[in-house]
A and B are shown apart, each in its own frame.
Chain A
Amino acid sequence: MDSRTKEPFIHLTKRGAIPKRKAMLIRAAAVVIALIVCAIITGITTGINPLEVYSSIISGAFGSSRKTWITLQDVSILLIISLALTIAFRMRFWNIGGEGQVLMGGLGAAACMICLEGKVPNAVVMVLMLVSSLVLGALWGFIPALCKALWNTNETLSTLMMNYIATQLVLFFTILWEVPKGSGKIGIINQNSHVGWLPQLFGSKYLLPIVVAAFVTAFVYVYIKYTKHGYEIRVVGESPKTSVYVGINVKKVFIRTMILSGALCGLVGLLLVGGINHTLTDTISDGRGFTAVLVSWMAQFDPFAMIVTSFIIVFMDRGAGEIATNFDLNQSFGDILTGIILFFIIGCEFFINYEIRLRKHHKEA
C-alpha cells in the first residue's frame, strides 16, 4: 500500500448477516438509551422526577383491568394496520395510505349501519358492513397500485394524497348524516336498536379486535412465508428485474397485494366503527395509519415482532394520557417521548446494518 494515501479515520462496511441475538441486543440498548434521554428531557422541561413519570406511564397502561383491556384493544388495532401495510412493504411498495384505507372501511360500515337500519335483518346488515368496508378499503389500495402498475406513479405520494381525499369524503358524509342537524357529528349510530353493532365475544366488549388481530397475524405470517403469493411478493421486493426474469407478473402482484392490504385496513375501519366507537368521525383512525408504518418498519416487517413494537407505541401513548392528567401536563408530551424513542430506534438500525472500523495504526518503518 502506498503510504502516502490517507486512510479515512472511520471506515464503514456493510455487514453481511448479524446474529439475531446481537441485533436484538443493539435494539434493546437503543431503547434503554432513549428512555434515559427521555428521562433527562422530562426532568429539564417539566421539573418532574422522571421515575415518577415512568411509573405513571405504567399505571396509565395497566392501572386497572379496564385500562389493560383498552391497551390490548389499541395494540390489536394498530397491529392489524401494521400487518396490512407490511404485505405491501415486503414488495417495496410504500403504502402510506393506511389512514385513508381505514377511514374508507369505516365509512362503508357506517353507511350500512345508517342506511339499512330497520330495512333488512341485523345479520344481513352485518354481512353487508363487512363486504362494503373490505371493498372500500381495497378500492383505496387498488387505485395507487393500478397507477403504479400502469404508469409507475410514485406510490408514496399517491397514497398520501388518497388519505386526504378519504378524510374529506368522510367529512362530507358526516355532515350529510349528522345528528342533530348542525352539530357536525354523527353521534352514536343506532343507539337504541344496536343494528350493526358487532357482537361481543364471551361477554367482553374488548375481545373481538384482539381475536381478529391474532388471526390476521397468523394469516399474514403464513401468507408471506408459505404461499406462492407471498413468495412472489418477496421476490418483487428484493429485485423487480429478477421477478420479471422468472416470469412473475409484477403488475399483477402490485395490484393483488395492495387490494389485500387495503382490505385489511378496511377491516380495521369496520372494527372501529362497528365494534368500538359505534360512530364515524374523520379522526377515527387517529394517525394510526402513519404510526403503523413506523411499527411495521421497527419490527423489520416481521409479523410477530410487530406485536412487540405496536405494544411499545400504544404503551407510550396510553401512558402519556396518564402523565397528562397526573402532572397537569399536555397530552402531546407523549408524542415527544415517542418521537425521541423512535429516533433512537431508527438510528440504531445503522449499527446493525453497518460495521464501523476505526483507522488502524500501521507500524511502518
Chain B
Amino acid sequence: MLGFLAFIPRAIAQAIPLLFGCTGEIVTEKSGNLNLGLPGVMYVGAISGVIGSFFYENSVGEGDVNAALAVLIPLGCCILGSAIMGLIYSFLVVTLRANQNVTGLAMTTFGVGFGNFFGGSLIKLSKADLPSISLSKTSAIFRTQLPFADDLGWLGQLLFSYGFLAYTAIVIALIVAYVLKKTRTGLCLRSVGENPATADAAGINVTAYKYSATIIGCVIAGLGGLYYVMDYACGIWSNDAFGDRGWLAIALVIFTLWKADLGILAAILFGGLYILYLYIPTGMEHMELKELYKMIPYVVTMIVLIFTSMRNRREDQPPQSLGVNYFREER
C-alpha cells in the first residue's frame, strides 16, 4: 500500500507534461490540423521559459527573487515562444496550404534543434561544470505546494503535493472538454474540423478558427514543456532530457479518442506506464524486461487505434478532415 501511494504522485508528475501536450493537440486537431510538430513546440515552450528565467535569475544575482516575477517571466516567455511556433504552423498550413505532416515534422526538427541549441548556449554562458542549467530559485517557486499538504498525511501527498502548473493542467483540460462539448464556440470548432466546407457555408470563419485553435493548442502544449523543466526536473535543463514525451502526447490523443476530460485519467495511466518499469521487480538478471514494459503505452495506443477503427462508431473517430487542408474554391 505504501509503495502504491508513492507510485501515484510520481505517476501524476509524469502525467502532467503529457496532459498539457494532449490537451493542446486535441484543441488543434479538432480544427482539422494534425500538428506533428508537437514535440518541437514543447521543446520551444520549455527552452523559452528557461531563457526568460535564466536571465532573470542572473540579473537578480545573489539576492532573493521576486516570486511573482519569477513565475510570470518564464510563463510569459513560454507562452510567447509556443505561440510563435503555432503561428508558423498555421501560416504554412492554413494560409499557404502546405502539407500538414511535412510541416509538422519540419517544426519538430526546428523546435528540438532550437531547444538544444539555446540550451547548449546557456550552459556555456553559465560556465557550469555540468552539462545542464540549474534554475533552483525559480523552480522552488514553481514547486511550492499548498501549505496544508504535509499536514494531511497520505491524502495530502496524493492530492495536494504538486506545483500550481499541475492543477492548471487539469483545469485547462476540464475547460477544454467543457468548451468543446457544451458551447457554441466548441460546436463551431468541431464543425470546422469535421467538414470545413459546410462550416464555411454556415458562416463560420474557418481560417480564424483554425488559426486560433492551433495557436491556443500550441500554447497549452508549450506549458507542458515548462512544467517539465521547472517542476518535474527541478529547474534543471539538460539537452534531450525531455525525450519522446511529445510523441507520447500525440499517442495519448488517439488513446483518449479526442476527449480532453478523459485525457486527465489517461495521462495519469500513461504516466504510470511510463515509470512502471521502476516498480516492477525484474531483478538484476533481467534488466532487458524493463524495456518491454516501456513499450506498453505504445502497444496499448496501437490497440486502441485499431479497435476504434474496427468498431467504427461515429463519435470515436478522428475529426473527419484531420490532416486535410481547406481551400474554398476547390470542389
Contact = CB atoms under 8 A, between A and B. Distances in A.
Given A156-B101, A335-B116, A164 B96 contact: no
Interface string B97-118: 1110111011111111111110
A156 B102 contact: no
Given A329-B121, A339-B111, 19 more contacts: A12-B327, A94-B101, A147-B305, A151-B306, A152-B309, A153-B309, A154-B322, A156-B101, A165-B299, A297-B99, A329-B120, A330-B120, A331-B116, A332-B114, A334-B113, A335-B117, A342-B110, A346-B103, A349-B96
A152 B112 CA distance: 32
A155 to B, nearest CB: 10
Contacts of B34: 156
Interface string B66-107: 000000000000000000000010011001111101110111
A335 B98 contact: no
Nearest to B318: A154
Most buried by B among A173, A294, A340: A294
B309 A342 contact: no
B294 A346 contact: no
Most buried by A among B91, B117, B247, B250: B117
A157 B305 contact: yes
Given A342-B106, A342-B110, A336 B291 contact: no
A169 B293 CA distance: 10
A353 to B, nearest CB: 7
Contacts of B88: 343
Contacts of A96: 36, 101, 105
Interface string A264-291: 0000000000000000000000010011
B147 to A, nearest CB: 40
A333 interface: yes
B101 to A, nearest CB: 6
Given A165-B295, A332-B120, A347-B98, A291 B302 contact: no
Interface string A144-162: 0001001111101110111
Contacts of A164: 244, 247, 251, 295, 298
Contacts of B59: none
A153 B307 CA distance: 9
Given A333-B113, A343-B110, A294 B102 contact: yes
A330 B301 contact: no
Given A156-B323, A293-B101, A346-B103, A175 B116 contact: no
A89 to B, nearest CB: 9
A13 interface: yes
A172 B282 CA distance: 13
A354 interface: yes
B288 interface: yes
B136 to A, nearest CB: 23
A165 B302 contact: yes
Contact of A343 (B106, B287, B291, B306): B106
B254 interface: yes
B61 to A, nearest CB: 25
A171 interface: yes
A297 B102 contact: yes
Contacts of A239: none
B306 A347 contact: no
Contacts of A171: 291, 294
Interface of B: 34, 36, 88, 91-92, 95-99, 101-103, 105-117, 119-121, 124, 239, 244, 247, 250-251, 254, 287-289, 291-292, 294-295, 298-299, 301-302, 305-306, 309-310, 312, 318, 322-323, 327, 329-330
Contact of B110 (A12, A330, A336): A336
19 contacts: A12-B329, A14-B329, A151-B306, A152-B309, A153-B305, A156-B36, A157-B305, A158-B305, A161-B302, A168-B298, A172-B288, A290-B109, A297-B101, A330-B121, A332-B114, A332-B115, A335-B112, A342-B110, A346-B92
Contacts of B121: 45, 329-330
A244 interface: no
Return the 10 tightest CB-CB contacts between A and B, nearest first.
Answer: A335-B113, A339-B110, A330-B120, A168-B295, A332-B116, A350-B96, A175-B288, A342-B106, A332-B117, A171-B291
Contacts of A335: 109-110, 112-114, 116-117
Contacts of A168: 291-292, 294-295, 298
A257 interface: no
A172 B290 CA distance: 8
Interface string A199-213: 000000000000000
A82 interface: no
B92 A343 contact: yes
A353 B97 contact: yes
B113 A151 contact: no
B92 A338 contact: no
A151 B310 contact: yes
Most buried by A among B91, B254, B289, B305: B305
Interface in A94-116: 94, 96
Most buried by A among B88, B298, B323: B298
Contact of A333 (B98, B117, B329): B117
A179 interface: no
Nearest to A94: B101
Given A14-B327, A152-B309, A335-B110, A349 B117 contact: no
A347 B96 contact: yes
